[in-house]
Amino acid sequence: MIYKNSKYINNIFDNVSYKYDFFNNLFSLGLHFLWKRKLISLLKPKNGEEWADLCCGTGDMTFLLNKLVTPRGKVFGIDISEKLLKIAQKKSNNLGDTNIYWKKKDIFDLDAKSRKFDGICMSFGLRNLKNVEDGIQKVFLLLKDNGRAGFLDFNHSKENSLSSIFQKLYLRFIVVPISSLFNLKEEYSYIEKSIKEFPKGTKLIYLAKQIGFREVKYITLFGEQMGIFLLKK
Ligand SMILES: C[S@@+](CC[C@H](N)C(=O)[O-])C[C@H]1O[C@@H](n2cnc3c(N)ncnc32)[C@H](O)[C@@H]1O
């Protein structure tokens, strides 16, 4: 088990912050925007609703949500990494999306009694939480009744499947060597380890049902490289 606590995770993302968007675009060849749009299109946020983008990083999903729920609704972009949030806020000011509520906070410290959301999304966040099950439970508590949530992340595919072999080779022979040139070897090596410990789709479904979600669905994208996990309370 890799050592995961909020400080460890925070250090990783603060360290990569200056190259975060650049590497996301490079390593996914820009496809992460398509996957994020796909998640939003499945969640169908509506004008007037209140949404949270948990583990928002530099805010890609927050901006997509903001376009759909405003002018009557509200969007909160929440993340523990100060450096990534600063980048998100800067982009927000440049785009003129100044009505987004950015919050630096550990999602486990959010108070579900003071605010609940119509919808929550998390892209590439769930796998990075110190405990995945606690993360799904937290989302459950933060949602209003009938609220919906969607997660996008790497799919933990079957061991020795083509998809799993491609994922390993791509991470080991493309992602890690290129990130090493920027002294970020350790940070990007962490991705393979984190996928190994991330529950497979069937386990995620089981966990969400145990927690109490009424509707649960898991689909894969891009040759099973990515997974989208959809929940309704
Ligand atoms: C891989 S990044 C994803 C960022 C963004 N959602 C995206 O898709 O590009 C994972 C994010 O999760 C955040 N994170 C991890 N654990 C967290 C926690 N307990 N509370 C808040 N943010 C957390 C990290 O700071 C980081 O920004």
Residue with tokens 């583990």: 55
Instruction: Please state the rounded mean pLDDT for residues 157-174.
Output: 96
Its domain, for residue 51, covers 6-157+200-232
Confidence of residue 98 (pLDDT cuts 50, 70, 90): confident
Which tokens go with 97? 């999306």
Total domain count, the chain: 1
Point out the ligand 1 atom lying closest to the alpha carbon of residue 6. Answer: 19
Residue 19 domain-assigned (yes or no): yes
Q: Are 117 and 149 in contact (CB under 8 A)?
A: no
> What percent of the chain has a predicted confidence (pLDDT) above 70?
98
Which tokens go with 86? 């600063």
At 66-81, the pLDDT tens digits run 999 999 999 999 999 9
For ligand 1, the distance from its centroid to the CA atom of residue 55, given in whole angstroms, is 4
For ligand 1, the distance from its centroid to the CA atom of residue 116, given in whole angstroms, is 20
Point out the ligand 1 atom lying closest to the alpha carbon of residue 129. Answer: 16
Point out the ligand 1 atom lying closest to the alpha carbon of residue 36. Answer: 8
The mean of the pLDDT values for the chain is 95
Residue 168 domain-assigned (yes or no): no
CATH code for the domain of 219: 3.40.50.150
Q: Closest Cα to atom 27, ligand 1: which residue?
A: 57
Residue 172 domain-assigned (yes or no): no
Contacts of 94 (CB under 8 A, 6+ apart): none
Residue 98 domain-assigned (yes or no): yes
Distance, in Å, from the CA atom of 210 to the CA atom of 217, rounded to the nearest integer, reads 14
Residue 121 domain-assigned (yes or no): yes
CA 218 to chain centre: 15
CA 1 to chain centre: 21
Point out the ligand 1 atom lying closest to the alpha carbon of residue 122. Answer: 6
For ligand 1, the distance from its centroid to the CA atom of residue 57, given in whole angstroms, is 5
pLDDT at 6 over 80: no
Confidence of residue 9 (pLDDT cuts 50, 70, 90): confident
For ligand 1, the distance from its centroid to the CA atom of residue 167, given in whole angstroms, is 21
pLDDT of residue 222: 96
**What is residue 200's three-state secondary structure?**
coil
Residue 163 domain-assigned (yes or no): no
pTM above 0.85, yes or no: yes
pLDDT of residue 3: 61
pLDDT of residue 171: 97
Confirm or reject: Cβ of 60 under 6 Å from ligand 1. yes
Residue 192 domain-assigned (yes or no): no
Instruction: Please state the rounded mean pLDDT for residues 191-209.
Output: 97
Residue 191 domain-assigned (yes or no): no
Which alpha helices (H) appear in the chain, and where do they start and end?
6-16, 20-28, 31-43, 60-69, 82-95, 132-142, 162-170, 176-180, 185-197, 201-211
For ligand 1, the distance from its centroid to the CA atom of residue 80, given in whole angstroms, is 7
| Residue in 122, 47, 59, 54 with CA at minimum distance from that of residue 92 | 59
To 10 degrees, the CA torsion angle through 177, 179, 184, 190? -70
